[in-house]
Amino acid sequence: MSITKKSILIIVAVLIVDQVLKIIVKTNMLLYQDIHVLGNWFIIKFIENDGMAFGFDLPGNYGKLSLTIFRIIALIGISFYLKHLIKIKSPTGLIVAISLIFAGATGNIIDSVFYGNIFSESTPFAAATMFPKGGGYGSFMHGHVVDMFYFPILRGYYPDWIPWKGGDAFEFFRPIFNIADSSITIGVLSILIFQKRFFAEAEEVPEASVADSE
């Protein structure tokens, strides 16, 4: 299988899994509902945010719109960079990492751009419906990103001797995230961990190979 096909397969697979899980959660769970999968260590918790990763958001309509536009511009940049990496036959690991980042960014952008139009509002009292008769809960590019994975592995209290935080409760891992967030994180960490290897291999690509790919 060519690296182009591998890249497309990764992107399509991540998007399908991400969107299917989000639709299942949004149409079957109440907002803020918990489903304990492994005790208190692994919880499916349905929340929504305005588009930033791991449950964070940017308040206000203009903040939401600005964030969505920025993400779309960034996604276009990533797509051109990915195409360039494939063209010059960059290391497979680097292309896979960028493909994961692209897929994750696309997954969350789909929520932000379209979910407001195609879903009714999720509340703590009623699950959302898809394509409601009265229209969606928001306008184009003002949808909320669906998050669901919650791993509060460690819970406790800060020691009293820690300034400002002593006695306060702490929790690890607090952020709630989705498949798209995970895809972005895996891609970024792969680049950070293997950057020397990726870019060393890129420098070793013969110029003839680059020319052949054009």
Q: Which helix (H) or strand (E) holds 189?
A: helix 179-203
Structure tokens at 33: 């509902």
Annotated active-site residue 34? The verdict is: no
Catalytically annotated residue among 18, 50, 111, 181? 181
* Distance in angstroms (rounded) separating the CA atoms of residues 67 and 112: 9
Catalytically annotated residue among 147, 160, 168, 212? 147
* Distance in angstroms (rounded) separating the CA atoms of residues 122 and 30: 7
Annotated active-site residue 50? The verdict is: no
Look-up of token digits 């299917």 = 20
Structure tokens at 111: 């929520």
* Distance in angstroms (rounded) separating the CA atoms of residues 206 and 89: 10
Give residues with Cβ within 8 angstroms of 156, minimum separation 6.
Answer: 169, 170
Catalytic sites, residue numbers: 147, 181
